[in-house]
Structure 1
Amino acid sequence: MNTILRNSVAGLLCSTFITGAALAAGTHPVTGEPLADDQTFVYRVLDEHSSVDPQVVEDVSGAEIVRDLFEGLMNQDEDGNLVPGVATGYTTNETKDVYTFTLRDNAKWSNGDPVTAHDFVFAWKRAVDPALSSPYAWFMELMSIENAAEIIAGDKPVDDLGVKAIDDHTLEVKLSAPLPYFPQMTTHSTTFPAPQKVIEQFGDEWTKPGNIVSNGAYVLTEHLPNERSVRERNPMYWDNDNTIIDKVVALVINDENVALTRYLAGELDRTEVPAGQFPRLKKEYPNEAISFPRLCNYYYTFNLSDGGPEAFKDPNVRQALSLAVDRKIITENILAGGQPEAYTFVPEATAGFTPPVVEMASMTQAERDELAKELLAEAGYGPDNPLSFAMVYNTSEAHKKVAVALSQMWKQKLGAQVELANMEWKIFLEERGNQNFELARGAWCGDYNEASTFLDLLQSDSGYNDGKYNNAKVDELLAQAKTSDDPAPLYTEVERIIAQETPVIPIYHYAGVYMMDSDVGNWPVNNVEQNWYSKNLYKIAE
């Protein structure tokens, strides 16, 4: 067995490793900074989260909460490197299709029960169980866990999943194919443990404050839907003595300008910068306005299902709409926060990914517009037969500005008649997932730092392939990439096919554009996945 140890905790987490004596003295033991008496971190979220059930949550803001409430096998440090979580390390065989994780013996649930390998077995079987209908069941299949695909399809029993508790502190996972980056995938919330007896006792009500039992650094103490969610220190957490932040509050504020006003009034420690305001805020608040690359894309997806618009079944129409988008106007004039234009689906910040040369990217916007008109005319659309369709986005002032800009570009350049509609987040997810749309906003933040986390969305059977794009060659290339020693050329070929067939319109790649109170210490700006953990933060005395 090749042993892969991840035990250099002191070195990797030196910026957040605290001692009781240092805390008592009121200073950070590494930086020497004075610590604030009130260690409460308050931040804004756009929408109510989907869930705090690890096997059900499907949105970024929900996953942020779940990472505090629960802890998986592995965590990430401030640079995105793997560090121990419940597992202190792991081993793998030569072919990398069997992984064995060693669990720490001092991990506990918030009710004092020990966290064991059986809790992971229960959670992982739960995630693939058709009875739960987890929106992230496909992720377990993507992890290549033995029999996951067959169980999700209903062809094999849940107990056939390739995961086993050798003993209380040893978890063995068998894969259907080698997957070198499998450990990185265990930082995802779907793989976190779940408390079986609590779920069996309370059913769907198990995640409510007062019922929920979790194993992370925090416990859920309050939840007012569409208003606020509060998590506080979990005294049973194995590393509670080395945690500084006492309370974390997520406030749902739908209007980003209202959120900014509340931030400037001192009510928030972090909020997103409203579209277009970063240059001004950076001048006025140079120590608080920040922008950094994120592992996320922003796109629009065509409904290519049988029930989708007939016009969108023509790749010329789809490509014409993509060509006519002046991405520079969106990134520089509307957003103005350092977001790069997107001509590929996978962000350039992705590890090991070099964007292919896409013809559209090397053209001037005037050349793109001219070609767009030609392609649309070839498809049979023009002044006497204008292209007409509806596009939807989830409620947000920034999303609205982008949608309006797109519709105006298409109207002015192509004569298209576009109807805009916004939807509340959960309804939007449901409608998009059921293909009740024509053109819909999409965005994806990588579940792990590898190109497949984005490209797998366009695999024909992907649970998040909401546009129902289906290309046998893409499926074949993605399948080959999973076992390839060098998947980069395969990913490049997939991107070339996407550029040609245009099942989606990449608009831009994300940047983290925040107002961050200067008294917040250790925000992981170098972690492009932005998997942040409140236990690693601290508040500096003003």
Structure 2
Amino acid sequence: MIARRCQPRLDLVVALVLAGCVSAAWCAVIPPGTVLDTRQEMVRNTGFEPDSLDPSISQTDGSIAILSDVFESLTALDGHDQVVPGMAESWRRVDALTWVFKLRPNAMWSDGTPVTAGDFVYSWRRFLDPRMAAFLASSIGVVVSNGAEIVAGKKPPTALGVRAVDSATLEVTTAVPTPYLPQLLAVPQFAPLPRATIEKLGKDWTKPGNMVSNGPYLLRDWQVNSKVVLVKNPRYWDAPNVVLTRVTYLPVEDATADLKMYQTGENDMTQTLPPGSFQALKAQYPKEIHNSIVFGLRYYALNNNDPLLKDVRVRKALSMVIDRDILATKVTADGQVPAYGLMVKGVVGADVVRYDWAGWPMARRVTEARKLLLEAGVQPGTHLKFTYNASEYHRKVGLFTASEWKTKLGLETEMDSLEFKVLVRRRQDAQYQIARDGWIPFTPDPTGMYTLVRCGSEANDSKYCNRHADDLVHQGELTTDPSKRQALMTEAARLVMEDYPLIPLVQYSVPRLVKPYIGGYDEVNVQDVHRSKDLFIVKH
């Protein structure tokens, strides 16, 4: 399933032809008459320290943003969410399960050797090898035939449904019909990897000076908790159309600090904004403020194995009393939309279904929630523990929900602030009770959201499982009838929602400031993908 598209204007296409850019979909869109700055160096914030710069095991947005600059997969997503050719110059779907990709003849590694179909075979097998313990292998890697069995250790990586027909031709067989495959393959986890370098250097292969890559940029420097510096890759196939020559990524987690750095000129683009600041900053920086609704969900993960939370009545009560309208309009106040289910606006192939009680007056919701807790034997004064990463944004949201639980249900909440990477590990190991969480899938297909609750999924921090719902999703994946598929996906999501495995809060929006001299930034981007390749700096 392909995300929303935005076609370039005719006058921009003419400008691109004059600039020597072969395809409007492949390079930075520079409007006619634009004068570029002589210094094409940009500083941007990822929001977090990269968890890894190894594409196989990376999992956080910050890492994936950097890796999308350093590596390139068969396909790519441009600034408008369009699927465009990457290492593959073309592809075709042979049948419901089989795809063939032709690599471009000038696809090259940064050391000057050619990128081959065999490099993809090696990379994908490595990604799904259970010895790698790759976080995303069980959610996106399993779309490839035999992927689930390989991740589970039931088949060897050599059984994966990917084959090098010749050095420039890759054949991919999927486990189920996957019409959105070209979009999914744009993520760095499906990029080729330099086998010789990895086998020679082991874990050190991702260090500056060691890394061999194939994307528009090279890793020049990585100072932990300080910065990641990239420079233009002269051997990249589309290097003449890459405008930015140097990109520095900052891992600034605190939104207030991020804003101050923007205001003092230390970065050119924030990751987000402090909660409640959007309207004031919109008035102060009307030409620099941007906000996009993203296909993703902010939610609270609930440890379904916790002695208190294993009772569905408790989970339901906690969810019912949170006033998402106040959360969205008064607390975050940045354009996010209240969410009452697993699926959010923008999903393609399922209905967005809300809880029935979402339309009740709050007083009625509180009465029902108190009744549920009483039935579950939970007394006022019971303690909850909420874990979040050290961010003013998440602290403020956490304080709001803690207040809701105290004033409406009489529950006490202990706030536990952790470094982001520590929080991720705690969630994955189920060493928490309630935790701040968020998810932006790689495609708007309902399976992208469903991976949060699928039995055994690495993204399933709640450790929840509903086999019947999983069976419905699998039936939906097998059918080629769009209407039947949508009905099955919708019913599966509805069944899961009735179990309250997590607490949906709001649908993501991405409010940020972007310097007026940064060109190529587009809000029509539900995946929030902004490759440095698509950006440029106007003379200022």
Normalised to the residue count of structure 1, the TM-score between the two structures is 0.93
Contact 1:217 1:239 in 2 (8 A): yes
Q: 1:453 aligns with which of 442, 448, 451?
A: 448
Aligned residues: 524
State the partner residue of 2:438. Answer: 443
Q: Cα 1:475–1:137, aligned 2, differ >3 Å: closer, same or farther?
A: same
State the partner residue of 1:231. Answer: 230
1:201-249 deviations in whole A, cap 9, x for unaligned?
1100001000001000000001100110011100000000011111111
Contact 1:88 1:102 in 2 (8 A): yes
Gaps in structure 2 of 5+ consecutive residues: 1-6, 22-27
Aligned sequence identity (%): 34
State the partner residue of 1:4. Answer: none
1:137-176 deviations in whole A, cap 9, x for unaligned?
2134431x12211211112221111111011110011223
Q: Distance in 2 between matches of 1:267 and 1:252?
A: 13
Contact 1:221 1:231 in 2 (8 A): yes
Q: Classify the secondary structure of the residue corresponding to 2:256.
A: helix
State the partner residue of 1:107. Answer: 107
State the partner residue of 1:174. Answer: 173
State the partner residue of 1:5. Answer: none
Q: Distance in 2 between matches of 1:160 and 1:142?
A: 12
Contact 2:12 2:32 in 1 (8 A): no
**TM-fit CA distance, 1:482:** 1.1
State the partner residue of 1:498. Answer: 496
| 1:264-303 matched pairs, under 5 angstroms | 264-271=263-270, 272-303=272-303
Q: Distance in 2 between matches of 1:287 and 1:496?
A: 41
Contact 1:69 1:214 in 2 (8 A): yes
Q: Cα 1:140–1:278, aligned 2, differ >3 Å: closer, same or farther?
A: closer
Which moves more between the two structures, 347-356 or 240-249? 347-356
**TM-fit CA distance, 1:11:** 8.4
Residues 1:222 and 2:215 aligned together: no
Q: Classify the secondary structure of the residue corresponding to 2:438.
A: strand
Q: Distance in 1 between matches of 2:20 and 2:457?
A: 50
Contact 1:13 1:77 in 2 (8 A): no
1:108-154 deviations in whole A, cap 9, x for unaligned?
111111111011000000011122221122134431x1221121111
**TM-fit CA distance, 1:346:** 2.1
Q: 2:471 aligns with which of 458, 462, 476?
A: 476
State the partner residue of 2:327. Answer: 330
Q: Classify the secondary structure of the residue corresponding to 1:338.
A: coil
Q: Distance in 2 between matches of 1:12 and 1:376?
A: 62
State the partner residue of 1:131. Answer: 131
Q: Cα 1:204–1:12, aligned 2, differ >3 Å: closer, same or farther?
A: farther
Normalised to the residue count of structure 2, the TM-score between the two structures is 0.93
Letter in 2 for 1:296: G
State the partner residue of 1:120. Answer: 120
Which moves more between the two structures, 500-509 or 41-50? 41-50
State the partner residue of 1:512. Answer: 510
Q: Cα 1:11–1:113, aligned 2, differ >3 Å: closer, same or farther?
A: farther
Q: 2:519 aligns with which of 515, 518, 521?
A: 521
Q: Distance in 2 between matches of 1:191 and 1:110?
A: 18
Letter in 1 for 2:287: N
Letter in 2 for 1:472: R
Gaps in structure 1 of 5+ consecutive residues: 1-7
**TM-fit CA distance, 1:9:** 11
| 1:243-258 matched pairs, under 5 angstroms | 243-258=242-257
Contact 1:10 1:17 in 2 (8 A): no
1:250-274 deviations in whole A, cap 9, x for unaligned?
1122321121111011111111211
Letter in 1 for 2:114: P
Which moves more between the two structures, 465-474 or 172-181? 172-181
State the partner residue of 1:193. Answer: 192
Q: Distance in 2 between matches of 1:21 and 1:73?
A: 23
Q: Classify the secondary structure of the residue corresponding to 2:462.
A: coil
Q: Classify the secondary structure of the residue corresponding to 2:218.
A: strand
